[in-house]
Amino acid sequence: MPGRAPFEHRGTRAVERMVEHAPSSGGLALWVRHVDLPADADLHSSSDPGHDAPPLVTDGETLRYGPAFEALTVERQAGLVAHAVLHVALRHVQRLVALRRRIGDVDTKLFNTCADAIVNTTLGQVAWLRLPDDAVTLERLLVATLAVHEDPARLLAAWDVERLYRTLDDRLPKADGEPRRDGPRAARVRALGGDTPVDLLTGTAENEPPEGEAERLREWAERLVRAHAGDGQHSMLRSLGADLPRSRTPWEQTLRVRLARGLAMRPELSWSRPSRSWLANQGRNRAGHRMPFEPGTVSTRRVPRLAVVADVSGSIDDTLLERFVREIEAIARRAEAGLVLVIGDDRVRRIERFAAGEVRLPALTVQGRGGTDFTPLLEAADADRPDIGVVLTDLDGPARFRPRWPVIWAVPEGAAGVVEAPFGRVVVID
């Protein structure tokens, strides 16, 4: 803006106040980009058109200041900047996008209110900044929706934003051509956050690959820990609770690596050709004595084969099934592997086989919640002599047959840890 120093912005006074009172935790603002927006800029979220534009929004990397920000007192400015900086540090925008990729429909307003509640409770004890009088806190939110009365520190230690959102989002299933209607909990969340505009903008984060975000998650987690320790009792953070960002390898990547190893071409012994070392020594040792014949190796020419067993009686929703199918198809194409698909519950319902390069899995749908027995399903897959197999299931059933090939159990997040896999490795899909 005219007359402003090169590195100044509308939030400069607020950042100076934060660094003055809490040099380490307040200094988190120095890791964030700050941008002044022109008077005609649109700060609205597409899901929040009915409110006045907020004075400050963030896309998860940058704080964007509207002209209205300058009219606020320095205490209110510090409150807004600290609030937005914690959204960035806790990766709330990116986690909203990641949750939407996992479960499909995520209501931005409800998620934003849940994230605001955690941030406002974290900042609630700080005397040198001011939050809005009607700011939604975690205490107010849980009392209104779940009748939970707990100390703020205990609540921060127990609730992360994903768990909070998924607990409170009880919207009814979508009717034909109609948006989803709020259930009792979602309606109370929306009422509490009704006067607070959405300040999380997801447009930029939606195009970012999840692999790059994993590194940024680690960086911000380390910054938060160092900042909190550096300020001690003067820290801007009440505690480092359950919402501290944690880096986790995407399940797709874990499954991809394990299947790639299982489907890789392996060398086989060939008794029709000697090894290179035997040839180099002309079949004799240093003393000139003849050595036993040493067979060489050749790359196997057999096309690798993958078995996929789909338990259609479990608790895996259709959105998760679609993601799983897409990932398995991509893995089979990259590995140039054939595939046998076994679909069933307590018995085999369907078997389909696909040649290498022609893997096009049908849509998988959950048929019901009947009993499950992995024994006939694994036996059917074993008939095709696969190199490795994946079982998509909630692990609720016996497995009296253990195949000779490695087995990966792809288990939904809610079922992980409830039942132990009988053998093999477990990959948690979310």
Q: What's the pLDDT tens digit per position in 237-258?
A: 988 788 988 766 666 677 777 7
Q: What is the pLDDT of residues 278-289, one digit of tens each?
A: 777 777 777 778
Q: By the 8 A CB rule, do 106 and 100 touch?
A: yes
Q: By the 8 A CB rule, do 87 and 220 touch?
A: no
Q: By the 8 A CB rule, do 365 and 312 touch?
A: yes
Q: By the 8 A CB rule, do 314 and 397 touch?
A: no
- For 50-74, b/e burial (b = at least 16 CB within 10 A) is eeebbbbbbbbeebbbbbebeebee
3-state helix, strand, coil in the chain (%, to 5): 40, 15, 45
**Residue 260 phi, psi (nearest 5):** -60, -40
Q: What is the pLDDT of residues 380-428, one digit of tens each?
A: 999 999 989 998 888 888 999 999 999 998 887 766 556 788 999 888 8
Strand partners, 353: 340
Inform me whether the pLDDT recorded for 102 exceeds 80. no
Q: By the 8 A CB rule, do 390 and 308 touch?
A: yes
Q: What is the pLDDT of residues 104-147, one digit of tens each?
A: 789 999 999 999 999 999 999 899 999 998 899 999 999 999 99
Give the mean model confidence (pLDDT) for residues 32-53: 73
CA distance 206 to 97: 6
Helix (H) or strand (E) holding 262: helix 251-263
CA distance 359 to 338: 7
| pLDDT-wise least confident of 118-127, 214-223, 290-299, 384-393 | 290-299
Helix (H) or strand (E) holding 342: strand 338-344
**Could you give the 3-state DSSP secondary structure of residue 237?**
coil
Is the pTM higher than 0.75? The answer reads: no
